[in-house]
Homo-oligomer: A and B are copies of this chain.
């Protein structure tokens, strides 16, 4: 991968807005802790779609490459309720041979309170074989299509 592409990727930030559904809450009245994984996964999808545009992440999966989740570190700093909007900010912290380390910060939109911080390591893999794929190769293949 070109150092310029790498630099640009590490500078890229994505920001999306996710609405809390009633069924995301639990009997404590707040979003159940497992659902933050759904929210930051939306952030991952949006980030990758921005990188790959006009290609979409679901197409790269259909074409045989996926980013499997290897490791998640999540710290819960607050909570959210039905009707709240969550802002998910996503960027890449680190790139390995076959790994991308994402940083996701989740904020409650109403008061801009940080409610969760996530570091998520994803591995580029062939869908059929689960063999690791080089991130370089993956990006070179798809980034011909656009400039980041």
Interface residues of A in 4-34 (CB under 8 A from B): 21-23, 25-30, 32-34
Residue of B at shortest CB range from A59? Answer: B83
Instruction: Let me know if A144 is at the binding interface, CB within 8 A.
Output: no
Say which residue of B23, B70, B76 sits within 8 Å of A76 (CB atoms): B70
Question: What are the 6 closest A-B residue pairs judged by CB atoms, nearest first?
Answer: A58-B83, A25-B27, A34-B37, A33-B69, A27-B29, A23-B32
How many protomers of this protein does the assembly include? Answer: 4
Say which residue of B21, B59, B127 sits within 8 Å of A38 (CB atoms): B21
As a 0/1 sequence over residues 26 to 57 of chain A, the CB contacts with chain B under 8 angstroms (1 = contact) are: 11111011110110011001000000000011
A41 and B23 contact, CB distance less than 8 A: yes
Among A23, A58, A75, which residue has the most Cβ atoms of chain B within 10 A? A23
- A52 to chain B: closest CB distance in Å? 12
Residue of B at shortest CB range from A58? Answer: B83
Residue of B at shortest CB range from A82? Answer: B58
Q: Which residues of B contact A56 (CB under 8 A)?
A: 83
A74 and B76 contact, CB distance less than 8 A: no
Q: Which residues of B contact A37 (CB under 8 A)?
A: 33-34, 37
- A15 to chain B: closest CB distance in Å? 16
A74 to B71, CA, bound (A): 6
Instruction: Let me know if A81 is at the binding interface, CB within 8 A.
Output: yes
Instruction: Let me know if A63 is at the binding interface, CB within 8 A.
Output: no
